[in-house]
């Protein structure tokens, strides 16, 4: 009885072991940012269609988890919304290449039941709302930006992400750039201590969007792709050049294009210069070892395709922002340092 069970088990195990390599010659694994996931699933699916011998398994477990898995060498590449910092690079133990892979933006969505016009907000107004210094929608500071709009005498409910997120990082990075008070009082991070007295935390883009939709007077920042797909009203923001810009793929790309020399240590593109730049923009990154232990050639080929024109062309179809041409070139140059 016992013997036959063991035999059965061994046969099954060998069967599985033989079947896996037959399905795919090379399997690459990655883990990290959940923001990247829709873009990656689309792009890697297309890549697998073109190169059936390579499959890429990406687990969207969050940037922090991705860095951890990458550092433990459980995955071939990690993906993160904020580049690895010096402490994290030290833990990795060997040289790491960080490559920008896609762009994101945060739209400032709001819920004002009887207002049909699109609200305009200066950078200072956004900061003051999130600091809790502007408490009502008909505050003179907002009213003077929106002449002709009848703003209600309604309390502003400030909604933010409760889960640690790259979108929160971009948003707080922006607030720190435009408001010294925010910088000293709160700072930049994926999770921060939100100071506004009427602030509410919601989980994920769907949580923030749901909270904003169901609460009259609410304001919240939501990932660009989510706003486009759900047709939410979002504020026009004043950029550094003093122009009013909407959160769109083109304005986010313009912010990125204004700073082609982006590196993992100098990566912030919030409050970017340029007439058409959207101020709440940021990159997402892929991290790989400079000398991968194995599967280096396959990994290089996939990433090279991903940051190139062909891979980036998949971004638009899922409402992501492709890297501008000059950033693609820079990403490719970094990737070429990989030993393969």
Partner 1 sequence: MAPPRFRRVARFVSPVDHGFAAVVYGGSILFALLIIGLFVELVLGSWPSIAAFGPSFIWKSAWDPVNSKFGALPMIYGTVVTSLIAIVLAGFVGIMAAVFLADFAPRWLATPLSFLIELLAAVPSVVYGLWGLFILAPFVRTAIGPALQKTLGWTPLFSGPIYGVGLLTGGIILALMIVPTVTAISRDVIAAIPQDLREASMALGTTKWETATRVVLPAARVGIFGACVLALGRALGETIAVTMVIGNRPEISSSLFAPSYTLASVIANEFTEATTSVYISALIELGLILFVVSVVVNALARMMIWRVRGSA
**Which residues of this chain interact with partner 1, rule CB under 8 A?**
61-65, 67, 85, 87-88, 155, 157, 162-165, 186-194, 198-203, 206-207, 210-211, 214-215
Cα torsion 313, 319, 322, 324: sign:
positive
Q: Where are the beta strands (DSSP E) in 155-303?
A: 157-161, 199-202, 218-223, 236-238, 244-245, 281-289
CA of residue 77 relative to chain centroid, distance: 17
Closest CA to 196 of 208, 213, 182: 182
Give the nearer residue to partner 1 in terms of CB position, either 155 or 276. 155
C-beta of 34: minimal distance to partner 1 in Å?
8
C-beta of 156: minimal distance to partner 1 in Å?
11
For residue 29, what are the β-bridge partners?
Answer: 57
C-beta of 197: minimal distance to partner 1 in Å?
9
Give the nearer residue to partner 1 in terms of CB position, either 47 or 171. 171
C-beta of 51: minimal distance to partner 1 in Å?
30
**Cα–Cα distance measured from residue 223 to residue 206, given in angstroms and rounded to the nearest whole number:** 10
**Cα–Cα distance measured from residue 244 to residue 239, given in angstroms and rounded to the nearest whole number:** 6
Q: Max Cα separation, the chain?
A: 85
**Cα–Cα distance measured from residue 106 to residue 227, given in angstroms and rounded to the nearest whole number:** 9
Give the nearer residue to partner 1 in terms of CB position, either 67 or 262. 67
C-beta of 158: minimal distance to partner 1 in Å?
10
Give the nearer residue to partner 1 in terms of CB position, either 90 or 95. 90
CB 205 within 8 A of CB 167: yes
C-beta of 63: minimal distance to partner 1 in Å?
6
**Cα–Cα distance measured from residue 25 to residue 8, given in angstroms and rounded to the nearest whole number:** 27
């Amino acid at each position: 009885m016992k013997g036959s069970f063991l035999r059965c088990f061994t046969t099954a195990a060998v069967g599985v072991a033989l079947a896996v390599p037959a399905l795919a010659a090379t399997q690459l694994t990655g883990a990290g940012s959940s923001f990247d996931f829709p873009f990656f699933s689309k792009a890697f699916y297309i890549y697998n269609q073109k190169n059936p011998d390579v499959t890429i398994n990406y687990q969207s477990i969050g940037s922090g988890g991705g860095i951890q898995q990458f550092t433990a060498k459980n995955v071939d590449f990690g993906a993160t919304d904020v580049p690895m910092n010096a402490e994290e690079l030290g833990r990795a133990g060997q040289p790491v290449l960080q490559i920008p892979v896609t762009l994101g933006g945060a739209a400032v969505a709001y819920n004002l039941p009887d207002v049909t016009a699109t609200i305009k907000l200066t950078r200072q107004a956004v900061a003051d709302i999130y600091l809790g210094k502007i408490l009502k929608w008909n505050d003179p500071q907002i009213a003077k930006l929106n002449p002709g709009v009848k703003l209600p005498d309604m309390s502003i409910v400030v909604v933010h992400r409760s889960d640690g997120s790259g979108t929160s990082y971009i948003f707080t990075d922006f607030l720190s750039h435009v408001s010294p008070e925010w910088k000293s009082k709160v700072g930049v991070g994926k999770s921060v201590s939100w100071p506004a007295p009427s602030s509410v935390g919601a989980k994920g883009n769907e949580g923030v969007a749901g909270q904003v939709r169901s609460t009259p007077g609410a304001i919240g920042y939501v990932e660009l792709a989510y706003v486009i797909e759900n047709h939410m009203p979002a504020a026009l923001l004043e950029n550094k050049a003093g122009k009013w810009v909407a959160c769109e793929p083109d304005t986010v790309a313009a912010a990125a294009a204004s700073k082609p020399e982006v590196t993992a240590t100098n990566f912030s593109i919030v409050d970017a210069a340029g007439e058409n730049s959207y101020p709440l923009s940021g990159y997402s990154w892929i991290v790989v070892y400079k000398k991968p232990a194995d599967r280096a050639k396959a990994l290089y080929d996939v990433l090279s395709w991903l940051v190139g024109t062909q891979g980036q062309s998949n971004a638009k179809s899922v409402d992501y922002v492709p890297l501008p041409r000059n950033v693609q070139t820079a990403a490719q140059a970094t990737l070429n340092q990989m030993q393969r």
